[in-house]
Structure 1
Amino acid sequence: MDFTMGEAATALRGDLRRLVAEHVPPGFLGAFTDDPSDLEAAQRFCRLLAERGLLCLAWPGEYGGSGASVWEQTVVREEMWAHHEPRGAQYMGVNWVGPTIMRHGTAEQRRRHLPPIAGGEVIWCQGFSEPDAGSDLAALRTAARRDGDGWRVSGQKIWTSYATMAQWCFLLARTSTGERRQHGLTIFLVPMDAPGVEVRPIASMMGPHHLNEVFFSDLRVTEADVLGAVDGGWDVVQEVLSFERVGIARYARCERLLQEAPQVLGDRWDDLPDELRGRWARMLTHCRRARLLAYQVVSKQDAGTVRPADAAAYRIAVTRLDQDSADVLTEIVASAAPDGARARRFRLQVEDHWRYSRASTVASGSIEMQQILLSRSLLAS
């Protein structure tokens, strides 16, 4: 495998970095802070990427993309996460909501939903986890009961990121029961401003918008809102989760911060304990390992041969990298923190990275569930 991805990818990476430097405010730490201007900056940057054909680079031209390779889209994914995701919540629509609608949606659903995603104009949230059905997703109890030519949905979702700002929800609900819990689940594409939808924010150290409860009280949905087959949502969800788990290039931010540390510390770098610098070097090695695992999954996704265990192996590696690198960086900053504006920004970036790394243990399925998935695959092979 060509680790650099070739000259075109290198040029694209340079273009993206220049756009970030020119259009993203200095000190930007993501769209989901207490300052509304951060979300506004992210929305502007999203539209800029869309205008230049860079937001949904690998999408087919008919859906608002540029028909580029999955590797060029991977470069976009890496550079965005490395710079604190200046697309805001748009990565969800770009990485898996849009592609899932392309594969399983009706012509009307593709016409309605794909152009706004490609234009950076809409935010989606994911209605999967529930109070008693997080990692055990098939145990969900949000139910859709038949009502004439549609359904009535009632239930509760939790930990729903971006629900306070999202216009649409990718909702999983139970439409029937069978011998297996995975049977009888259906995906609905639900507008968040519909009567019967209530969002309650959950305070956390990650700041606003990341965690919310969503309540559905007799929400009316129709056949036009169903994605894929009724009762066939589980197969689609498995596909979605494999894309979601590799969709955030967490290794890219880890590597950028690790490589920046010696530059920020300057002469103080040599004063760090040898043991700490040794752990720093190991983290860079682990970044490369996680990157290669991600590339393996991307390659298999492109070929249509990816298995849940492939995504699980990557997810385990990158989650551990996220947390271990955050610990090392925190110790480095605490041991030899220099003065100056760049050093202050770096400390804030490390603090933000540490907070996100704690959440990565459970996001997109807990690391324990990923280990179970991988173990079952190895035992079955």
Structure 2
Amino acid sequence: MTVVDLDFGTDATALREQLRGLVRDHVPDDFLGAFTDDPADLATAQRFCGLLAERDLLCLAWPAEFGGRDASVWEQTVVREEMWAHHEPRGAQYMGVNWVGPTIMRHGTDEQRRTHLPPIARGEVIWCQGFSEPDAGSDLASLRTTARRDGTGWRISGQKIWTSYATMAQWCFLLARTSRGDKRQQGLTIFLVPMSDPAIEVRPIHSLLGPHHLNEVFFDDLVVTAADVLGTVDEGWRVVQEVLAFERVGIARYARCERLLQAAPDALGAAWEDLPAELRGRWARMLAHCRRARLLAYRVVRTQSQGTVHPGDAATYRIAVTRLDQDSAEVLMELAEHAGTGAGRFRAAVADHWRYAQASTVASGSVEMQRVLLARSLLAAP
């Protein structure tokens, strides 16, 4: 039986209070994320990200040699929880912090570490992920973007889609096919490519999530060198599986659900007592589901801290938390209908949560694919 100690310790408790204080002092009360139609929100996130970096709070669990301060993974979990609960005032930095940087630490060359890790730790660079394609979303191994040999380097051509932050990113963590094997997972390679190259074209996809979230990215004979390859040529799938496990637990979605659910009684005031018993019962059930998702996340964090990644555990958590995202959004929307005119901030936050929740069961791999991963891991278990 796996036992998880839920007491993070006094350092983590102090860190949580410090982060909440910084949010109160430096993030406007009506902040609902960096990627709205108001440019001031992105500016707020960029300033706040720089503030965290100055105080060694952005990548605090990274090794000191790479710009961190050797804190525990549990302290980094506190950062994830507080940032997502408060509508991610770091902006798009979580991608570089949570999995791009750690993946470069594990699989990159010394030169790649020197080039990429310090800017991430300083909050100066945004990364995007070049994975999904029009005919290879959840079935990622079916991708068609190809990289063909050209002397000592490569030429990359193809299309990616649903690429978050591509309009603002400086670098792309790109997966392309470099050869054909007996299985689709063979012959894939990861490249670290600059988004400023003129061979790359980004076309925004308008959606209810707002600007910057969804984009198409086209690669037209993009020239890269051997130095841009992360890890071993043709063996990128192994790294991708590790990346996806980190990504799927990297956003603490349960933290925002729980914060909004706990805020509901105060937001509704006297109207809370007049709610139908059935609705209050579903509200309580959602709080219990928040705790379940949190415990599943902690189990994955624990195994990752020991140097292992269990895809089945990550898939289990992802299924639970994305269902929580959508189910809690529906309950919160019903609750918000009973809130008075003085609860405008609560209603706006709930509406924002609902919009994000609509995409949660397909982001980072659909729920259906997570179930496949979970089934495979159970069948492979001794």
1:233 aligns with 2:236: yes
Q: 1:4: how far off?
A: 3.7
**TM-superposed deviation, 1:315:** 0.2
Corresponding residue number in structure 2 for 1:338:
340
Q: Distance in 2 between matches of 1:137 and 1:103?
A: 22
Structure 2 partner of 1:350: 350
Q: Describe how 1:297-312 pairs up with structure 2 within 5 A.
A: 297-312=300-315
Q: Which residue of 1 aligns with 2:139?
A: 136
Deviations 1:66-116 (A, max 9, x none): 100000000000000000000000000000000000000000000000000
Aligned counterpart, 1:366: 366
**Paired residue type of 1:26:** D
Give the CA deviation at 1:27. Answer: 0.5
1:183-239 deviation per Cα after TM superposition (whole angstroms, max 9, x unaligned) = 110000000001200000000011011100000000000011000001110000000
Output one character per residue of 1:229-276: Cα deviation in whole Å (capped at 9) or x when no partner: 011100000000000000000000000000000011111110100000
**Aligned partner (choices 188, 202, 222) of residue 191 of structure 2:** 188
2: distance between equivalents of 1:266 and 1:346? 12
Distance 1:140 1:311 in 2: 23
- Runs of 4 or more consecutive aligned structure 1 residues displaced over 3 Å after TM superposition: none
Contact 1:50 1:119 in 2 (8 A): yes
* Match of residue 223, structure 1, among 219, 223, 226: 226
* Alignment map for 1:1-381 (pairs within 5 Å): 1-334=4-337, 336-340=338-342, 343-381=343-381
Secondary structure at the aligned position of 1:324 is classed as helix
Structure 2: any 5+ residue segments left out of the alignment?
none
Tell me, yes or no, if the aligned pair for 1:4 and 1:10 is still in contact at 8 Å.
no
Distance across 1 between alignment mates of 2:156 and 2:113? 23
Counterparts of 2:14 and 2:285, CA distance in 1? 29
Structure 2 residue matching 1:190: 3-state secondary structure: strand
Aligned-pair CA distance for 1:182: 0.5
Q: Distance in 1 between matches of 2:327 and 2:50?
A: 35
Cα deviation, 1:4-41, whole Å, max 9, x if unaligned, reads 41221111100000000000122101010111111111
Alignment partner of 1:156: what SS? Answer: strand
Shift of 1:309: 0.8
Whole-angstrom CA distance in 1 between matches of 2:239 and 2:336: 43
Task: Assess if the C-alpha contact under 8 Å between 1:116 and 1:122 holds in 2.
Answer: yes
Please state whether the residue corresponding to 2:164 is helix, strand or coil.
coil
What is the alpha-carbon distance in structure 1 between the residues aligned to residue 314 and residue 276 of structure 2?
36
Helix, strand or coil at the partner of 1:198? strand
Partner amino acid for 1:356?
Y
- 3-state DSSP class of the match of 2:341? coil
Q: Report the residue type matching 1:345 in the other structure.
A: R
Instruction: Quote the Cα distance in structure 1 between the aligned partners of 2:355 and 2:60.
Output: 30
Q: AA paired with 1:363?
A: A
TM-score, length basis structure 1:
0.98
Report % sequence identity. Answer: 78
Matched-pair contact (CA < 8 Å) for 1:176–1:184: yes
User: What is the CA–CA distance in structure 1 between the aligned matches of 2:13 and 2:282, rounded to whole Å?
Assistant: 29
Q: TM-score, normalised by structure 2?
A: 0.98
CA shift, 1:3, in A, is 2.1
Please provide the CA RMSD for this pair. 0.7
1:234 is paired with a residue of what secondary structure?
A: helix
Q: Quick check: 1:47–1:120 contact (8 Å CA) kept in 2?
A: yes
Question: How far did residue 304 of structure 1 move?
Answer: 1.9
2:127 counterpart letter in structure 1: W
Amino acid at match of 2:169: A
